[in-house]
Amino acid sequence: MPFYKHKESGSLVSFAAVLSTSIIGVVVSAVNIYKEMINLKKKCQSGCEHSTGKPIRLVTGAAIFIAGIACEVLSLDIYATVSLFIAAYAILGYKVIFYALKNIVKGRIFDENFLMALATAGAFAIGEFPEAAAVMLFYQIGEYFQGAAVRKSKRSIVELMDLRPDYANIMLDGELVKVAPDTLKAGDVIIVKAGEKIPLDGIVTDGEGTLDTKSLTGESMPRTVRPGNTVLSGCVNQDGRLTIEVTKPFGESTVAKIIELVENAGNKKARTENFITTFARFYTPVVVILAALLAVIPPLLLSGDWSEWIHRGLVFLVVSCPCALVLSIPLSFFGGIGNASRNGILVKGSEFLEALNNLDIVVFDKTGTLTKGAFEVTNVYPAEEFSVDQVIGYAAHAEFFSNHPIALSIQKAYSGIIDKAAISGYKETAGYGISVTYGSKKLLAGNEKLMISENIVFNETNDSGAKVYISVDGQYAGCIVISDELKPDSRDAVVALRSKGIREIVMLTGDNAQSANKTASNLSIDKVYSQLLPHEKVEKLEMINTSKREKGKLAFVGDGINDAPVLAGADIGVAMGGLGSDAAIEAADIVLMTDAPSKLPVALDIARATRRVVRQNIIFSLGVKAIILLLGAAGIAGMWGAVFADVGVSLIAILNAMRLLRMRF
């Protein structure tokens, strides 16, 4: 029974009691909320997580609401019951009221916050205190679920700043001194020892070494540098000692450009406008005007009972609250995000799941994305008088003392036991290869330049990848090809994407043209652009972006630090989360935790299922509300209809949305 019709509600003393207990409940709640906000502000200032406020508010408000329901069911003191509902409403709905008032001040009157505030105020006016509190409770539950999903998959982009080198080595008074990289200028000379990161772009003036450029350019093969070669900041010197003349200050270096590109691309990325806000912008003024007209026009024209028509108008307003939409739409996306997480796919927000439905072009990185990102022996071509096992054995002994990635891949491919005692005379020549004495045999292992310099006649192979030629006592023994193998599901991923209507598949990579073209050919990729630096990848992505269909979306899939700017600049950035860099994962909108490109088509299926459920909830919610609104205006449906049209429809929509968590893809 509505409170205003309760048998004791006519008493002035009763009214005063209800009012006083309600005020006490609201004041206590307001004080607690104020304290909580102060604590959260302090936590934010100290850099701590600040996601605990909403659970505290939600649990407290829900507990008070349940207590109020218990009091009502047990027919306990009506004043205490009403006070509990008001207190629960204050705790759960103060932000809705706050934003409604704030938006009114800014001139944005008709949004979902305003309608919920007005509808619940109407519920209070007709004595439906449980309804008003329940609306805010269900709304906060939906908000919490979606917020929890987003918070779970988002982290700070702090790791990207770890790209900054901590120091640079310069020679002062005959000693190496560490200085801050941003204190140096063009023309200064720095020293980079083995294992150190190159802090600034420059030119090698002395020394030879092998650079690991994979994290910067995506190039899978280590790069040998010598005097005269240009080197980029962010590369790691694997061996040797390099003297480098700085050509650019730190602010203009490659690493600094990557950081700037990520920040700028993130600022330019458009966000899909929330559907319910757009809907409420039109829906809210219409229902408010209709409710006002329903309350005023009939009694004026028909000389009817004002209280009856005002009651109908308030019922109309309560029914019109878009609770089912406000809850079911984010919960539908939450269900989709939850299902994606179960499949090893982290989606950082509902807008990215929604954007997948309009996917038109998919752009892949190569190394670590379509390929394994690890060196393996893929082919062995022995000379006539040698076997495959002999070639691998000689190469493994020759490379035993080397820590080069190619040497390690050869040692891994050898199944025998290496006789370390038989190896002597180890000598490594940068840019050529290795020579050792194994027992009484002289072994050479290196590139074609080593064979030519030793006047050894060899058979050159055209395979893509790194090639190690082996000779024994001056006789050519064979060639070992080391390359980055395709992931086992890369082909399936490309085929599945095409079957789902993706119009174009492109590959951008820092790898050499021969290796890139071979990979693209094996996977039937439409276009390939190779030997690209990070800023060139961004330029190519912008070019490709102009060719997408109207309302179409472009997704970029990558894993390295060099991919971070492109991931941030794409409509949908997809990162490999298993072996991918932290910077790439942070810049991305979707993370494939298993490093499997075939998970992208699965994400597409989940996005489409989510869209279907969202549409079902929209049609069902609006359809039922339209019927109950008409019945309420006619005086046929009272608050029972309002409760069903609001809470009942909301629960049904929520159950439908949560089906997404149980779907299998």
DSSP string, 160-197: GGGGS-S-EEEEETTEEEEE-GGG--TT-EEEE-TTPB
Q: Which of 252-266, 295-309, 380-394, 557-571 has the lowest mean pLDDT?
A: 252-266
pTM (2 d.p.): 0.60
Tell me the pLDDT band of 663, cut-offs 50, 70 and 90.
confident
Look at residue 554 in the predicted model and tell me its pLDDT: 95
Q: Which of 234-238, 265-269, 298-302, 452-456 has the lowest mean pLDDT?
A: 265-269
Looking at per-residue confidence, does 3 or 626 come out higher? 626
Looking at per-residue confidence, does 229 or 222 come out higher? 229
β strands within 504-641, DSSP E: 504-508, 527-529, 553-558, 572-576, 590-592
Question: What's the rounded Cα separation, in Å, for the pair 512 and 223?
Answer: 12
Does the pLDDT value for residue 52 go beyond 90? no
Q: Which of 21-25, 100-104, 331-335, 567-571 has the lowest mean pLDDT?
A: 21-25
Which residue in the block uniquely carries the two structure tokens 């794409």? 570
Tell me the pLDDT band of 14, cut-offs 50, 70 and 90.
very low
Look at residue 381 in the predicted model and tell me its pLDDT: 95
Look at residue 190 in the predicted model and tell me its pLDDT: 94
Tell me the pLDDT band of 361, cut-offs 50, 70 and 90.
very high
Looking at per-residue confidence, does 609 or 21 come out higher? 609
- Contact between 370 and 490 (Cβ < 8 Å): yes
Going 254 to 255 to 260 to 263, the CA torsion angle's sign is positive
Catalytic residue numbers? 365
Does the pLDDT value for residue 277 go beyond 70? no
Total Cβ atoms within 10 A of residue 504: 19
Domains and CATH numbers, the chain: 166-199+201-247 (2.70.150.10), 262-370+487-665 (3.40.50.1000), 373-486 (3.40.1110.10)
Does the pLDDT value for residue 481 go beyond 70? yes
**DSSP reduced 3-state for 444:** strand
β strands within 336-465, DSSP E: 345-347, 359-364, 371-382, 423-429, 433-438, 441-446
Mean pLDDT calculated for residue range 593-611? 90
Q: What is the mean pLDDT of the chain?
A: 78
Sequence letter at residue 20: S
Longest CA–CA span in the chain (Å) reads 118
